[in-house]
Structure 1
Amino acid sequence: MSLIEPDTKDWTWVLDRSCPECGLEAGAVAVSDLGDRLRSNAASWTVALQGPDVAVRCAPEVWSVLEYACHVRDVHRVMSGRARLILERDDPEFPNWDQDATALEDDYGSQSPAVVATQLADAARAAADLYDRVPASAWQRPGRRSNGSVFTLAGLARYHLHDVVHHVHDIAGDVKRHTIAAYDAAAAAYRDGGLGMSDLRLQQLKAFAGRLPHGSRVLEIGSGPGRDAAWLEGAGLRVRRTDVSPGFVDLLRTDGHRADVLDPLTDDLTDPEHPDRPYDGIWASASLLHVARHDLGRVLERLAEATADGGSLHASFKVGDGEGWSTHGEVDRPRHFTFWRESALRALLDQAGWRVDAIVEHEGLRDERWLAVLATRSRR
C-alpha cells in the first residue's frame, strides 16, 4: 500500500529553532537529557500501539500508527548506528538510508503491532543507553551524510530526538479521533447509564458556583450529557455547553440546549453570545484528562486567555504516570487517557496563568485516584 509522498525535505533546521508543528526546540535539549527523553518517547509508542485500528490509515496518503511506529523503530536503529560510527571513526560518512523505500520493502503496514512495540522499545533503549555513555569530550565529534551535511554527535542525537518526538505529534490526531469515536458511539448509553450525581461531584459544583456571582458566564469543556451544566444553571450561572464529541452535542441539542462542538486546543473559544467579554469561569470535569501531555499546557493557557482576571477554573484528572487506553463504564470502545501527578500539574497551571487554590486527591468510583483542581485566573 503506497500513495505516501516521499519526504524530501531537509529537516536539519530543527537544530537551530523550535519546530512549529511539534513544539520541540531540539537544539536546547541538554545532551545529558537525551537518553531519558528517548525512553519517555518510546513509552508513548507502546501505548499508541495498544489502541484500536492501528494498522488503518486515516487517509490514503498518511501512514497509520503502525507504519509510523515501524519507522520510529528504524530511526532508532539507523541513528544508533550513525552515532557508533562517529564514536569509532574520524569524520565518517553515513551509509544512505531511504526511509520511504524501507517502508515499502519491509511492508510496514502488515507487521505485528505487538512485535513492533517490543522492537521499538528495545531500539529506543539501546539508543538511550548509548547516548548515556558518551563522554563529554566526544559530543563534538563529526560525521557526515553523503550529500555533505555535517553533524556533530550532539547534533545527530538532537536530530534523532526531534524525529521521534515529531512523529508522536503526527499520530496524535489518530489517538484523538478514536477517543471521540468511542464517546460518539456510546453517547446515549453514557447519558442513560449515569443519571445520578455523587456527593463529591455536588460538593465540587457547589464550591465552584460559590466563587462566582449570580449570572456569571461559564464555559464548560466536555459537557457530555449535560448534568453538570443543568446543575450550574440551577445555581444561577449561565453555561455555554461544549464537547469535542459530536454525539454528545447532538444529544444536548435534541434536549433543547444550545451546544457547540469545540476542541479547546484548536478552536476559537470566544463566547458567541458575548464575543467582546471573557468568561467568568471554566468548568472542565473529567475532560482535560484526554488531552495529550505535550498539549495540556497550551490548552490551559488558552482557557486562561479566555477567562476574566479573577475568574475560576475547575478541572479534574486521573492520578498516575504516563498514558493509556481504557474500556470501562458505559463506553465499550477504548479511550485514551493521560495521567498526572500533582507537582507537574501545579507547574503547568502556574505557567499557563492560573493561581492554584486547591488540588484535592480523592478516590473515584472504580478505586482509581483523581486530582480535583480549583484555580483562579491571575494575570501576573
Structure 2
Amino acid sequence: MSAIEPDTKDWTWVLERPCPACGYDAGTLDRTTLGARLRRDAAGWPALLAAPDAAVRPAPGVWSVLEYGCHVRDVHGVFGERVALMLAQDDPVFGSWDQDEAALDGRYQLQHPATVARELMTAADTVAAAYDAVPGDAWGRRGRRSDGSVFTVETLGRYHLHDVVHHAHDVRAAAAAVDDVLGPLRERFAAMVGAGGRVLEIGSGAGRDAAALEALGLAVRRTDVAPGLVELLCADGHDADVLDPLVDDLDDPRRPGTPYDGVRASASLLHVARADLPVVLARLAAATRPGGALHLSVKQGDGEGWSTHGSVPAPRRFTSWRADALAAVVAGAGWEVAAQEEREGQRGETWHQVLARRR
C-alpha cells in the first residue's frame, strides 16, 4: 500500500478566514451549537463507512473512507483530552499527536468499518457533551500546542470542527470523483425516465446517487432494506422508507396508485438470491409505467452465497451474474433490454450495467 504524504501544514489560519476547499467559516459559528454540529457531522459517517468500497483507497497515497473515519474518531478523542486539560489546568501545554504515526500505529486500513462507525459516534458524542458543559466564563481559558500555537477553549472548538468538516468534504469529493465514471450512464437513464419523472431507488444507501439523479431533474423515492441507513437519510431531511423489494408493497405512500417512471437498483440487487431476482424484477416492472426505465447493476461471476467480506460485519448474500443470463432474466420479467455495459470496479471486479424499458 502506498505511503501517505505527511500533512505538515499549519491549519490555524482557518480561525481567521473561511476555508476555500470545504467552505467552513469559523467566524460564523455560534459556540453554543458546537456540540450539535459535531454530532451532526458524526451522524453522516456510518453511511459513508457502510459503502462496499469503504476500505479501498480512491488513489495511491490517498486515505480510504475507512482511514479517514479512523482519523476523525481519534481527532475527537484528542480534542476531548485537550478540552478537559484546559478546563482543569491554567495554560497547559498539549502533548504532541502525529496523525500520520497514529494511522500507522493504529493500522487504520485493517480496522472494521462498522466498529469504527460506532466508535466515531461515541467519541463525537463524548466530546460534544464536553463542549455543551463548558461554563460561560470558561470559553476563554487557554492552552497551547507544543509548537507554540495558543488556543482558547472556544478557538480550539472552532478549529476542531473544521478538522472533521473538512475530512467529510474530502471523503465526499473523492466519492464524487469515482462516481463521475458512471455519470454518462446516469444521464442516459435520466433521459429514458424523462424530465420530472419519478424514480424508485432500491438500495439508496447514503443517498449520493439519489442526489445526483435529483440534480438531473428527477424526483427520487429513497428506500433501503437497512433501517439504520433510512434513519440517516431521514435525519438529513429526506423522505425515505424501509423497503424489501421481494416482499414489501412497492406503492409509494406519498403518491398511492401512481406508477413510477423509472427504477434504479445500483449494486443492491446483487444481495438477492438467484431464484428470487426474476420475482423482484417482475414486481418492479408491475410498479412501473409502460415505457418506464430500469437501471440495474450487479457483479460479474457465477457464485452465490453468504459472506462477511466488505464493510458490513453481518453475513450478506452475494449473487454474481453472467451477462447473457442476466439479460434473459431482465427480459423475462417484463423489461426490454436497451443497453448493456461492463465497467471495472475499484477492486478490479467487473460490474454489469443494464438499461431497460418496461414493456
Matched-pair contact (CA < 8 Å) for 2:49–2:113: yes
Q: Per the alignment, in what secondary structure is the counterpart of residue 219 of structure 2?
A: strand
Corresponding residue number in structure 2 for 1:65: 65
Matched-pair contact (CA < 8 Å) for 1:2–1:104: no
CA distance in 1, matches of 2:38, 2:12: 19
The percent of aligned pairs where both chains have the same amino acid is 46
Shift of 1:334: 5.2
Please tell me whether residue 86 in structure 1 is matched to residue 86 in structure 2: yes
Corresponding residue number in structure 1 for 2:144: 144
Corresponding residue number in structure 2 for 1:333: 267
Report how many residues are paired: 234
Matched-pair contact (CA < 8 Å) for 1:182–1:333: no
Give RMSD over aligned pairs.
Answer: 3.5
Shift of 1:47: 1.0
| 1:155-214, Cα deviation, whole Å (9 max, x unpaired) | 001100000000000001343356556787xx5xx9xxxxxxxxxxxxxxxxxxxxxxxx
CA distance in 1, matches of 2:128, 2:159: 14
- Structure 1 segments, 4+ long, off by >4 Å, are 177-184, 283-287, 323-330
Shift of 1:26: 1.8
Q: 1:45 to 1:332 in 2, by over 3 A?
A: same
CA distance in 1, matches of 2:198, 2:78: 44
TM-score by length of structure 2 reads: 0.57
Shift of 1:40: 0.5
Q: 1:284 to 1:88 in 2, by over 3 A?
A: farther
Shift of 1:18: 0.7
Matched-pair contact (CA < 8 Å) for 2:190–2:218: no
CA distance in 1, matches of 2:150, 2:61: 31
CA distance in 1, matches of 2:167, 2:197: 28
Corresponding residue number in structure 2 for 1:316: 219
Shift of 1:95: 0.3
TM-score by length of structure 1 reads: 0.54
Q: 1:180 to 1:52 in 2, by over 3 A?
A: farther
Q: How does 1:340-351 map to 2 (within 5 A)?
A: none
Q: 1:69 to 1:326 in 2, by over 3 A?
A: farther
Please tell me whether residue 166 in structure 1 is matched to residue 100 in structure 2: no
Corresponding residue number in structure 2 for 1:31: 31
CA distance in 2, matches of 1:36, 1:167: 18
Please tell me whether residue 107 in structure 1 is matched to residue 10 in structure 2: no
Corresponding residue number in structure 2 for 1:224: 189
Corresponding residue number in structure 1 for 2:312: none
The residue type equivalent to 1:331 in the other structure is A
The residue type equivalent to 2:189 in the other structure is G
Matched-pair contact (CA < 8 Å) for 1:14–1:27: no
Corresponding residue number in structure 2 for 1:342: none
Q: 1:69 to 1:2 in 2, by over 3 A?
A: same
CA distance in 1, matches of 2:79, 2:13: 17
Shift of 1:147: 1.2
Matched-pair contact (CA < 8 Å) for 1:183–1:331: no
Matched-pair contact (CA < 8 Å) for 2:73–2:120: yes
Shift of 1:136: 0.9
Please tell me whether residue 20 in structure 1 is matched to residue 20 in structure 2: yes
Q: 1:11 to 1:285 in 2, by over 3 A?
A: farther
Matched-pair contact (CA < 8 Å) for 1:80–1:130: yes
CA distance in 2, matches of 1:10, 1:331: 44
Shift of 1:89: 0.3
Q: Gaps (5+ residues) in structure 1?
A: 191-221, 233-282, 301-312, 336-364, 367-380
Q: How does 1:219-258 map to 2 (within 5 A)?
A: 222-224=187-189, 226-229=191-194
Q: How does 1:269-308 map to 2 (within 5 A)?
A: 290=208
Q: 1:334 to 1:147 in 2, by over 3 A?
A: farther
Matched-pair contact (CA < 8 Å) for 2:58–2:178: no
Q: Per the alignment, in what secondary structure is the counterpart of residue 224 of structure 1?
A: helix
CA distance in 1, matches of 2:197, 2:12: 40
Corresponding residue number in structure 2 for 1:154: 154
Q: Gaps (5+ residues) in structure 2?
A: 202-206, 223-233, 246-262, 270-286, 289-359
CA distance in 1, matches of 2:132, 2:71: 23
Q: Per the alignment, in what secondary structure is the counterpart of residue 137 of structure 1?
A: coil
Corresponding residue number in structure 2 for 1:53: 53
CA distance in 2, matches of 1:75, 1:14: 17
CA distance in 1, matches of 2:139, 2:25: 18
Q: How does 1:369-380 map to 2 (within 5 A)?
A: none
Q: 1:109 to 1:327 in 2, by over 3 A?
A: farther
Corresponding residue number in structure 1 for 2:40: 40
Please tell me whether residue 10 in structure 1 is matched to residue 33 in structure 2: no
Q: Per the alignment, in what secondary structure is the counterpart of residue 137 of structure 2?
A: helix
Shift of 1:65: 0.3
Q: 1:44 to 1:225 in 2, by over 3 A?
A: closer
CA distance in 2, matches of 1:291, 1:160: 30
Shift of 1:224: 1.8
Q: Per the alignment, in what secondary structure is the counterpart of residue 176 of structure 2?
A: helix
